[in-house]
Amino acid sequence: MPEIIADKNLVAACGLYCGACRKFTAGKCLGCKKNEKATWCTVRSCTMSKQIASCAECVEFANPMHCKKFNNAFSKVFGLIFRSDRSACIAQIRVLGLEGHALNMAQTKRQTIKR
């Protein structure tokens, strides 16, 4: 298994950690921030337009689950299939910062916090 490094630049806009994703570690994906083909991702587009690193910095929604861009049909299906709790990732970023979140996710080899 490839080494999973802690890099705050590999934290996706929605809180997922690209650095622990199999596609990223296999070299098949550039990660959220660099994947210019990910125009379908409303969360990525929103954070880019607001010039913030992730939903953790959003001042419009204290709870990301109240945001229709963060909590949409696609994310609900993703969360169900992968038992992913992206809002827990956002909460962790708010407590630990991007670097702390990246370090925690790299050390535990997780792309997401499980439900």
Residue 24 in any domain: the answer is: yes
Name the burial class of residue 20, with classes exposed (0-12), middle (13-18) and buried (19+) by CB atoms within 10 angstroms of its CB: buried
**What distance in Å separates the CA atoms of residue 44 and residue 63, rounded to the nearest whole number?**
17
The model's pTM is 0.92
Residue 1 in any domain: the answer is: no
Residue 99 in any domain: the answer is: yes
Residue 38 in any domain: the answer is: yes
Between the alpha carbon of residue 75 and those of residues 4, 18, 86, 108, the distances in Å are 24, 16, 9, 23
Query: Per residue in 36-46, pLDDT tens?
Result: 888 889 999 99
Number of domains in the chain: 1
Q: What is the pLDDT of residue 2?
A: 79
Query: Per residue in 1-56, pLDDT tens?
Result: 678 999 999 999 999 999 999 999 999 999 988 988 888 899 999 999 999 999 99
Residue 40 in any domain: the answer is: yes
**What distance in Å separates the CA atoms of residue 37 and residue 5, rounded to the nearest whole number?**
24
Residue 3 in any domain: the answer is: no
Q: What is the pLDDT of residue 9?
A: 96
Residue 85 in any domain: the answer is: yes
**What distance in Å separates the CA atoms of residue 17 and residue 9, rounded to the nearest whole number?**
9
Residue 115 in any domain: the answer is: no
Q: 28: domain range?
A: 8-108
